[in-house]
Amino acid sequence: MTPIVVAIDGPAASGKGTLSQRIADAFGFAHLDTGVLYRAVGVAVLREGGDPADNAAAAKAAYALDPDHPILREVALRTDEAAQAASKVAAVPEVRAALLDFQRRFTQHPPGGAPGAVLDGRDIGTVVCPEADAKLFVTASVEVRAERRLRELRNRGIPAIPSDVLEDMKARDARDSQRAVAPLRPAVDAFVLDTSALDADEVFARAVAHIGSKTGLRPTA
């Protein structure tokens, strides 16, 4: 049977990763955080002493990435340096082409023989899986998102300056939504969920209702 595909897009710290993992657990689907792929490419370029905005260096690192590559599990991918490098390599067309195959293979053959896949990122509903069974675009004001990221960093014991976090988020939003290739935007048929005033449980409930309306499925766990 063809696996069910749920596409969840949105800007940084909107809560799409949290939601995607919960949806995957609830429906017994596999989850792919596609931001990790771009972060891995960005970090690989930095480690080679290269510039993430350099097309050739970024493309080489993207084509070298496979699902078993150990870099995909490194904590170093969660840093702001990795996020900024990711959003630079993400503007390189060859990088996006290389990672497109990786992501589509995941939807066609979800790990563990799962009956479906949840992918979260920036262009899942628009480019990677335009035929997804359900599409959500999770967003929140930039101030709310910066506040969430700040709390998350502090909980991890990482010192952070509020104005820097806000400025970095604005810079990443601008790069992600203004790039020529696969810019961040909701698919025309996406369910847009503004989470600014919603807690994670409310977001989950609304997402489950939407996925149910599109697929007829109910959570199994």
Ligand X SMILES: Nc1ncnc2c1ncn2[C@@H]1O[C@H](COP(=O)(O)OP(=O)(O)OP(=O)(O)O)[C@@H](O)[C@H]1O
Ligand Y SMILES: Nc1ccn([C@@H]2O[C@H](COP(=O)(O)O)[C@@H](O)[C@H]2O)c(=O)n1
Contact flags string 121-160 toward ligand Y, x per CB under 6 A: xxxx------------------------------------
From the list 123-131, 156-164, 179-187, 199-207, the region that binds ligand X by CB under 6 A is 199-207
Residue list 26-65, contact with ligand Y (CB under 6 A): 34-35, 38-39
- Confirm or reject binding of residue 18 to ligand X (CB under 6 A): yes
Residues 7, 135: contact at Cβ < 8 Å?
yes
Q: Is 20 annotated as a binding residue?
A: no
**How far is Cα 99 from Cα 101, in angstroms, rounded to an integer?**
5
10 is in an annotated binding site: yes
11 is in an annotated binding site: yes
Among 104, 175, 198, 212, binds ligand X (CB under 6 A): 198
User: Distances from the Cα of 134 to the Cαs of 35, 36, 156, in angstroms?
Assistant: 19, 22, 33
State the minimum distance, in angstroms, from the CB of residue 13 to ligand X. Answer: 4
Length of the chain: 221
Contact between 83 and ligand Y by CB under 6 A: the answer reads: yes
Report helix, strand or coil for 132. coil
| Cα–Cα distance for residue pair 180/40, rounded to 1 Å | 22
Q: Which strands make up the sheet holding 116-121, listed edge to edge? A: 30-33, 116-121, 4-9, 134-139, 191-194
60 is in an annotated binding site: no
The answer to the question of residue 176 lying near ligand Y (CB under 6 A) is: yes
CB 39 within 8 A of CB 153: no
Q: How is residue 185 written in tokens?
A: 């935007």
Which of 4, 30, 35, 45 is the binder for ligand X (CB under 6 A)? Answer: 35
Q: How many residues bind ligand Y (CB under 6 A)?
A: 15
Nearer to ligand X, 14 or 126 (CB): 14
Q: Which amino acid is at 200?
A: A
How many whole angstroms separate alpha carbon 67 and alpha carbon 103? 10
Q: Which residues bind ligand X (CB under 6 A)?
A: 10, 12-18, 35, 148, 152, 195, 198-200, 203
Residues annotated within the binding site are 10-18
Residues annotated within the binding site for ATP are 10-18
